[in-house]
Structure 1
């Protein structure tokens, strides 16, 4: 498959509309990840399937801590976007992140909402706590624990709870948007975009955030991860399967099922 070639979308007649929600001090990494993945997907697909609009509470120019700014349109009472990405913010206490009514205006109309990093943390806080179905960036989890005693959110990259997807944000935003591209178009399109971005692996939502104190996951399955690491560490002298399953404490058949 040529990475520069055009690919056919699963539904060439469908144009997916996406709102990107920013507030002053937004995280440029996340905005770039959303826009660039969608832009490249439009480039490689025969029929560009994505269009997006930058939005903010008041509209106008909104800046980030990196010194750049974007032109935005104000929120609409009845949004028509299929998806909405609420970006994180350099200031987790920014009141511009408290957008419960705006989030509801999307979900009430069937739009799927992605809350990144601080936007997810504010959602968790405004909901009065977290559950295993919600996640945010690990720094925000630590802050919620210190300030409010909330410590039951997931450390996964992303977590779906109906029409609301809470996400770790930052660099993992690329994985989240690539997953959406793959879901709406094709696995081939997803892989082509990932290859162009030199993004080696599209991580699953259940993958743990790679930070001190959390064991990163390759596949989302701890036994399979352990098996892969054993094989990687012994490439020159492969370890027999019998020894691997003894190390894992599972049967050969159980390991075969995981593969």
Structure 2
């Protein structure tokens, strides 16, 4: 096992024209998320030609802190209500105490500074907080568990959401795009594009982009009947088949297919099929300029009214409202960060 140690960060330039990030980590933090944050900031400084962005790593267990893998970082102690940065990014542990970083969030919000909670931190925040305005999100796998135990109408499947100055995010491999979105306030479009090119990103997804739903993306690893049924659904989004027809094509009964579907996805095949169609509509609304009637036809809803009802149930907005609010910004929240 190799050891990686993060020591000194860029020094703040004399003119003070810098944006400071505080990265809060806990033992067993996600290595990928920390590496994504730091490497994106390093790349931004390289593209910009000066240390425009600086960071420090802090922890409730200062000293050497090890992540879930081989990454080890040197973290400074957290001093309550002192040394607050422009941005606080929390990369928490699934099991460690939350009190220190929750107190840090309150300090940041009193100043009006932005807070970003990645994956595990977002999950623990959502589970402990009554969300009354805006929306929240986390990694889709944690969202499944949260929905089983709590009524969370404001929980979405977007890559990130903003509520009361706090960004909750899916994290993991989408972390770099989120950081790029934060930097977009301070850098020209040409530099943002160049950062994406250096990171070899085929595109920079917006915050409202739907998370790639792993069960759909990796269905080849599941029960063959379920895998085959998913492939049929994905091939027939514009002209949906009945569940009976799909069951016949995978050589099983409708009742058996429903039972096997619930064992994998904890939902019915009919509900999952509609979810696939709404997701496809979401992609077309966000990434194309197709008329809504054409999108409704392409996703098997037949009319804009039927599409609007289904879309609003999943995303809380009608397709026309969604398209109006989400323009060409990486972080396309309705409010400013």
TM-score range normalised by the length of the shorter chain: 0.7 to 0.9
Provide the rounded CA distance (Å) in 2 between the counterparts of 1:105 and 1:17. 16
Cα drift, residue 55 of structure 1 = 0.5
Long gaps (5+) in structure 1: 1-11, 229-240
Cα drift, residue 96 of structure 1 = 4.4
Q: Report whether the alignment pairs 1:105 with 2:102.
A: no
Q: Superposition pairs for residues 106-185 of structure 1, below 5 Å?
A: 106-128=108-130, 133-150=135-152, 152-185=154-187
Provide the rounded CA distance (Å) in 2 between the counterparts of 1:245 and 1:22. 43
SS at match of 1:115: strand
**Structure 2 partner of 1:60:** 63
Long gaps (5+) in structure 2: 1-14, 217-271, 305-319, 329-337
Q: Report whether the alignment pairs 1:14 with 2:17.
A: yes
Cα drift, residue 72 of structure 1 = 0.2
Provide the rounded CA distance (Å) in 1 between the counterparts of 2:170 and 2:29. 15
1:246/1:165 Cα in 2 relative to 1: closer, same or farther (>3 Å)? Answer: closer
Q: Give yes or no for contact 1:26–1:87 (8 Å, CA) kept in 2.
A: yes
1:21/1:217 Cα in 2 relative to 1: closer, same or farther (>3 Å)? Answer: farther
**Structure 2 partner of 1:33:** 36
Provide the rounded CA distance (Å) in 2 between the counterparts of 1:53 and 1:17. 8
Q: Give yes or no for contact 2:133–2:163 (8 Å, CA) kept in 1.
A: no
What TM-score do the two structures reach when normalised by structure 1? 0.76
Cα drift, residue 132 of structure 1 = 5.5
CA deviation vs aligned residue, 1:139-179 (integer Å, no higher than 9, x gap): 11112123445464111100111321110110111110011
Higher helix share: 2
User: Which structure has the larger Rg?
Assistant: 2
Q: Give yes or no for contact 1:134–1:153 (8 Å, CA) kept in 2.
A: yes
Provide the rounded CA distance (Å) in 2 between the counterparts of 1:26 and 1:245. 41
The alignment of Structure 1 onto Structure 2 pairs a total of residues equal to: 228
SS at match of 1:80: coil
Cα drift, residue 52 of structure 1 = 0.2
What RMSD, in angstroms, separates the aligned Cα atoms of the two structures?
3.1
Provide the rounded CA distance (Å) in 1 between the counterparts of 2:155 and 2:53. 32
Q: Report whether the alignment pairs 1:83 with 2:145.
A: no
Provide the rounded CA distance (Å) in 2 between the counterparts of 1:41 and 1:22. 22
Provide the rounded CA distance (Å) in 1 between the counterparts of 2:280 and 2:180. 17
